A and B are shown apart, each in its own frame.
Chain A
Amino acid sequence: MMQEQLLVASMGGRRVAIPSGQILSVIELDKVERVPRSPPGVAGLTALRSRVLTVIDCAQIIDPANFSDGDGRAGDPYAVVIDIDDYGYALLVEDVEDVTEPHDKLADAKADLGAGWSNFVVGVAETSVGALVVVDPAKIVRGAIAGATKAA
């Protein structure tokens, strides 16, 4: 049976896979408009054609201890565009490698992936480029919203 294809990218210094079904597009970020008083995890806004996307700093959502400030990654070149509840989000990633197909269904991680990661990972996939943790981009966005609500 065909498995859903995965986008191999890196965020927070780690290689991850993102299920391609949720991804509208992968864009090269031109410029991110900073938003004053934006909550942690929100890097700013960017435009994709006539849409305004909220740019989410994935590394900061996943691992706030090590990525407290978005400055280091505002220059991240790529973003994965997804839609959550009709709002468009651009998820900052450090690199985009390839699209690959997992050999089998997702497996459990079978280990504690660390406080930050375990909330966003939906499983582990064996692929031709090795074993990858599969993150759910929607969970990252919801993490950012939850963080924002808490900050307010």
Chain B
Amino acid sequence: MDDLKAEFVAETQEMVEALSSEIVAWEADPADRSRLDAIFRFVHTVKGNCGFFEFPRLEALSHAAEDVLSEMRAGRREPDRQVVNAVLAIIDRISDITADIASNGSCPEGDDSALIAALHGEAVEEEQEIGDNDQLIPRATTSRTVRLPVELLDRVMSGVSDVVLARNELARFMGELDRDNLLRGPFDRLSAVINEVRDGMTRTRMLPLETLFTSLPRMVRDLAGQLDKRVVIETDGGDVELDREMIEVVRDPIMHLLRNAIDHGIESPEERKDAGKPGTGLIKLAARQSGDKIIIEINDDGRGVNTDKLVAKAISAGVLDEEQASQLTMEERHMLMCEAGLSTADRVTEISGRGVGMDVVRDNVERIGGSLKIDSVVGRGLRVLLQLPLTLSITPAMTIVVGQHTMGVPHSFIEEIIDSANKDVSFEQMGDAWFAKVRDRRMPCVGLNTLLGVEDADTKRRALVVLRLAGGAEFVLTVDKVLAHQELVIKAVSPALLATGLYAGTSLTDDGRPVLLLDVTGIAEAAGIDTGIEGRTRADDKLQREWEEQESRVPAVLFTGLDGTRKALRMSVVSRIEMVEAHQLTRSGGRWRVILGDLIVPLAGLDKMPADGEAIRVLRLGDGNSVLTYACGDDTDVTDLPEDLTPMPGDNEIEAIALIEDRPVELLDSHWLFSNFGEARNQDDRPVCRLSAQNSWAQNFLRPVIESAGYRVVDEDDKAEADVAICSDPKESKILPAGQHIVLRKEEASRTKSDKSIYRYDRDGLVAALEAARARKA
């Protein structure tokens, strides 16, 4: 709270400082509308800000001044000398009180009723005290900070980047020197110092948005309480880092927008229930970084905005004539909200006032080169999209490969990255569009190669990057390969390339090669993925329908057997594709087997030993009980089985023949394969670990760890006796019977000393616990 208070003080003092020339000018010419607006915004902002604190005097003063100024703005009152003086006196008083808050931390006692009375034209005794501009000189506050021009920081930062690149180049040469070369010591020191300098430089400018977000839930709760509404706020993207300066700039617009959403957007609990909505309103605030832009989206699920009403109001206020109004697009109609003096709210309230909010917001946003978009669906909610520039930023990004190109994808958009060979992934085509189904989510799937017109890499196996737009819409981008997580220093992309709409910035790799940062929103738009609020709901409905239609589909893995025929296997039995080399193959008892790690697994579909040193691909199949492999060619693909299959009753190995892509495909009978080739794994001496099948996180992340620790993994339905069970909750131990339970906790730090649980990402700790359990068993 003290931080917030200090910020409030600093901000108010800064505004007073900036306002002093406006005040002088307004005094000279009280009819000057733009000065009037500036002063109005000041008191409005003070009023809004001090609402968080217990500063009743400031609130009363600013509210009174705002009332009078608002009258003047509306033309209902003339700005005569007396009222101008009274307003100026109030600004002086606000400045005084702020200075006291700065030194004492609290609002001083005092009586402002005379000043407020003066606003309404009542005579004031202490005439000379009013309008005394000397008071406006802000008091110097002791400060341990230095103000620097951003341009200077930019220059130093780019100098530091040059140093880092030169260091990297030098490091490559150092690699060729002897290990005990005398230069190594000094170089390592230099290198460490350079890293430190770079980190420091980066930090000088960046702060996570979290610093702003943390104060919001409280504010929302308090505001909602005052209005007898129930509202919760969900924030997302607090880790997005912003220039310090930028955070200051976005604070006000965000506050204004939230106040508007609570006051005018979210309905009362009764109204919401009548509309069939939950009684508690939801505001979602999401931040994303895309290249040199920050996208902040504020979504509420309130009543939305009736644009007809807005237009009518604009016409009656003389902002538009009927004809102009008829030509407005939906977006332009919404933007009327930002016209000064227009507000659809039927009442004026303490919180967001008289529609001043939106024009202030737009002014502030546009002043810093950003933009603001509004859309809404009546009855369903309103969305405001702020797009803010970022001249210099470090963007955490994943570098990816597509064709010959290396590119970056901003990390804040990435939900997850999955291998296309993962069995949780399947692809479906509907019309000309592709969809990827990841576990139970079906998302539009965009091939980056195709979209960029880049030649295909010669691989069937791709990486799937699941992306989530600021609006919540998700889609999948397929790329050839995902390289690494990198912190990229992003520079704006030149206008000549910006026009493509696909790139958000440029950066350099460590070895000095230029890389492009993808504009994820632009890519989504280029691929025809609807990103708007209406599109979102529409897409959801459409997906729901398609989903139902598609549920009956059976995905299969399509491949060419080593005998040259096209074969297919039901996806459900294929766990993954493995490359095995000739030396991993053995033949005994007329059967091929392949050594995979510490397992010896039967291999079907192979007729002769491949040449020495040659590798073959095998599909690893599992039925939950036994494991076997099937040799396949290089061209594996995933497809849906057609509905009409021709059964092959005479053939044991082949369940049916299917026509896929106009070619006959043998669908292998997985049941026969397992009964014929499957061998219960020779694992009786292996310890058993029970893991809940319901817990997909455990299945995806823990299972490989546990298996590589030499355990056999079973789930709660398995009758086998387990040596250990891994629970993500102590309560789970009831449904996961085992000799011993290992409990994982979500927090890194343990709650108590006796807490034996293991942090869920503490791989070493988990492996050690498994080792200990095995040792005990032995």
Are B495 and A152 touching (Cβ within 8 A)? Answer: no
Are A35 and B499 touching (Cβ within 8 A)? Answer: no
Q: Which residues of B contact A141 (CB under 8 A)?
A: 496
Are A52 and B500 touching (Cβ within 8 A)? Answer: no
Knowing A37-B500, A151-B499, A152-B501, say if A89 contacts B494 (CB, 8 Å). Answer: yes
Are A38 and B513 touching (Cβ within 8 A)? Answer: no
B512: interface (CB < 8 Å): yes
Within 8 A of B (CB), among A33-76: 33-39, 41-42, 45-47, 49-52, 54, 56
Are B165 and A49 touching (Cβ within 8 A)? Answer: yes
A145: interface (CB < 8 Å): yes
Which candidate, B221-229, B502-510, B647-655, is the interface stretch facing chain A?
B502-510
B405: interface (CB < 8 Å): yes
A88 to nearest B CB, angstroms?
A: 8
Within 8 A of B (CB), among A2-50: 31, 33-39, 41-42, 45-47, 49-50
With A and B bound together, what is the CA distance between A11 and B404 in angstroms? 28
Are A42 and B452 touching (Cβ within 8 A)? Answer: no
Are A36 and B495 touching (Cβ within 8 A)? Answer: no
Contact with A along B324-342 (1 / 0, CB 8 A): 0000000000000000000
Contact with A along B188-232 (1 / 0, CB 8 A): 000000000000000000000000000000000000000000000
Are B494 and A50 touching (Cβ within 8 A)? Answer: no
B162: interface (CB < 8 Å): yes
Within 8 A of B (CB), among A80-102: 85, 87-89
B interface, by DSSP: helix, strand, loop or mixed? mixed
Are A148 and B161 touching (Cβ within 8 A)? Answer: no
With A and B bound together, what is the CA distance between A86 and B571 in angstroms? 54
Are A47 and B513 touching (Cβ within 8 A)? Answer: yes
With A and B bound together, what is the CA distance between A41 and B516 in angstroms? 18
Best-buried of A37, A56, A144, A152 by chain B (most CB within 10 Å): A37
B453: interface (CB < 8 Å): yes
Q: Which residues of A contact B368 (CB under 8 A)?
A: none
A128: interface (CB < 8 Å): no
Best-buried of B165, B404, B496 by chain A (most CB within 10 Å): B496
Are B165 and A35 touching (Cβ within 8 A)? Answer: no
Within 8 A of B (CB), among A114-152: 141, 144-145, 148-149, 151-152
Least CB separation from B506: chain A residue:
A52
With A and B bound together, what is the CA distance between A144 and B497 in angstroms? 10
Are A45 and B516 touching (Cβ within 8 A)? Answer: yes
B699 to nearest A CB, angstroms?
A: 37
Within 8 A of A (CB), among B492-538: 492, 494-497, 499-503, 506-508, 512-516
With A and B bound together, what is the CA distance between A149 and B497 in angstroms? 9
Cross-chain contact of A38 among B165, B497, B515 (Cβ < 8 A): B497
Q: Which residues of B contact A152 (CB under 8 A)?
A: 499-501
Are B162 and A56 touching (Cβ within 8 A)? Answer: no
Are A56 and B496 touching (Cβ within 8 A)? Answer: yes
Q: Which residues of A contact B512 (CB under 8 A)?
A: 47, 50
B646: interface (CB < 8 Å): no
Are B506 and A45 touching (Cβ within 8 A)? Answer: yes
B491: interface (CB < 8 Å): yes
Are B496 and A50 touching (Cβ within 8 A)? Answer: no
Within 8 A of A (CB), among B616-660: none
Knowing A50-B161, A52-B506, say if A37 contacts B496 (CB, 8 Å). Answer: no
Cross-chain contact of B496 among A31, A33, A52, A148 (Cβ < 8 A): A148
Q: Which residues of A contact B497 (CB under 8 A)?
A: 35, 38-39, 42, 54, 148
Q: Which residues of B contact A87 (CB under 8 A)?
A: 492, 494-495
Are A42 and B496 touching (Cβ within 8 A)? Answer: yes
Q: Which residues of A contact B507 (CB under 8 A)?
A: 52
A74 to nearest B CB, angstroms?
A: 13
A91 to nearest B CB, angstroms?
A: 12
With A and B bound together, what is the CA distance between A88 and B514 in angstroms? 13
B349: interface (CB < 8 Å): no
Q: Which residues of B contact A42 (CB under 8 A)?
A: 496-497
With A and B bound together, what is the CA distance between A45 and B492 in angstroms? 13
With A and B bound together, what is the CA distance between A144 and B402 in angstroms? 26
Least CB separation from A86: chain B residue:
B492
Are B453 and A36 touching (Cβ within 8 A)? Answer: yes
B135: interface (CB < 8 Å): no
Are A37 and B452 touching (Cβ within 8 A)? Answer: yes
Are B491 and A148 touching (Cβ within 8 A)? Answer: no
Are A47 and B500 touching (Cβ within 8 A)? Answer: no
Q: Which residues of B contact A149 (CB under 8 A)?
A: 495, 499
Least CB separation from B507: chain A residue:
A52
Least CB separation from A141: chain B residue:
B496
Q: Which residues of B contact A52 (CB under 8 A)?
A: 491, 506-508, 514
With A and B bound together, what is the CA distance between A34 and B497 in angstroms? 12
With A and B bound together, what is the CA distance between A52 and B496 in angstroms? 13
Q: Which residues of A contact B516 (CB under 8 A)?
A: 35, 45
With A and B bound together, what is the CA distance between A36 and B454 in angstroms? 7
Least CB separation from B158: chain A residue:
A50
Q: Which residues of B contact A56 (CB under 8 A)?
A: 496
With A and B bound together, what is the CA distance between A56 and B497 in angstroms? 11
Cross-chain contact of A50 among B162, B405, B515 (Cβ < 8 A): B162
Q: Which residues of B contact A144 (CB under 8 A)?
A: 496
Least CB separation from B526: chain A residue:
A37
Are A49 and B495 touching (Cβ within 8 A)? Answer: no
B452 to nearest A CB, angstroms?
A: 4
Q: Which residues of A contact B453 (CB under 8 A)?
A: 36-37
Knowing A50-B158, A148-B495, A148-B496, say if A34 contacts B506 (CB, 8 Å). Answer: no
A148 to nearest B CB, angstroms?
A: 4
With A and B bound together, what is the CA distance between A144 and B499 in angstroms? 11
Least CB separation from B489: chain A residue:
A50
With A and B bound together, what is the CA distance between A36 and B503 in angstroms? 10
With A and B bound together, what is the CA distance between A42 and B503 in angstroms? 14
Are B496 and A36 touching (Cβ within 8 A)? Answer: no
With A and B bound together, what is the CA distance between A142 and B508 in angstroms? 25
Are A145 and B495 touching (Cβ within 8 A)? Answer: yes
Q: Which residues of A contact B508 (CB under 8 A)?
A: 47, 50, 52
Least CB separation from B160: chain A residue:
A50
Knowing A50-B165, A52-B508, say if A34 contacts B494 (CB, 8 Å). Answer: no
Are A45 and B165 touching (Cβ within 8 A)? Answer: no
Knowing A36-B405, A52-B491, say if A41 contacts B496 (CB, 8 Å). Answer: yes
Least CB separation from A150: chain B residue:
B499
Q: Which residues of B contact A46 (CB under 8 A)?
A: 514
Are B503 and A33 touching (Cβ within 8 A)? Answer: no
Are B165 and A148 touching (Cβ within 8 A)? Answer: no
With A and B bound together, what is the CA distance between A40 and B676 in angstroms? 61
B647 to nearest A CB, angstroms?
A: 47
With A and B bound together, what is the CA distance between A85 and B494 in angstroms? 9
With A and B bound together, what is the CA distance between A99 and B453 in angstroms? 41
Are A33 and B158 touching (Cβ within 8 A)? Answer: no
B634 to nearest A CB, angstroms?
A: 26
Contact with A along B390-412 (1 / 0, CB 8 A): 00000000000011110000000
With A and B bound together, what is the CA distance between A29 and B300 in angstroms? 52
B455 to nearest A CB, angstroms?
A: 10
Q: Which residues of A contact B452 (CB under 8 A)?
A: 36-37
Q: Which residues of B contact A145 (CB under 8 A)?
A: 494-496, 499
Knowing A49-B165, A52-B491, A54-B494, say if A148 contacts B500 (CB, 8 Å). Answer: yes
B488 to nearest A CB, angstroms?
A: 11
A-B interface, 7 closest residue pairs, ranked by CB to CB distance from nearest = A36-B452, A148-B499, A45-B514, A50-B161, A52-B506, A54-B494, A152-B499
13 contacts between A and B (CB under 8 A): A35-B503, A37-B452, A37-B502, A41-B496, A45-B514, A47-B508, A50-B165, A52-B506, A52-B507, A54-B497, A89-B494, A145-B496, A152-B500
Interface residues, chain A, CB within 8 Å of chain B? 31, 33-39, 41-42, 45-47, 49-52, 54, 56, 85, 87-89, 141, 144-145, 148-149, 151-152
Known: A54-B494, A145-B494, A152-B500. 12 other contacts (CB 8 A): A31-B513, A34-B404, A34-B405, A39-B497, A39-B499, A47-B508, A49-B165, A50-B162, A50-B165, A52-B506, A89-B494, A148-B497
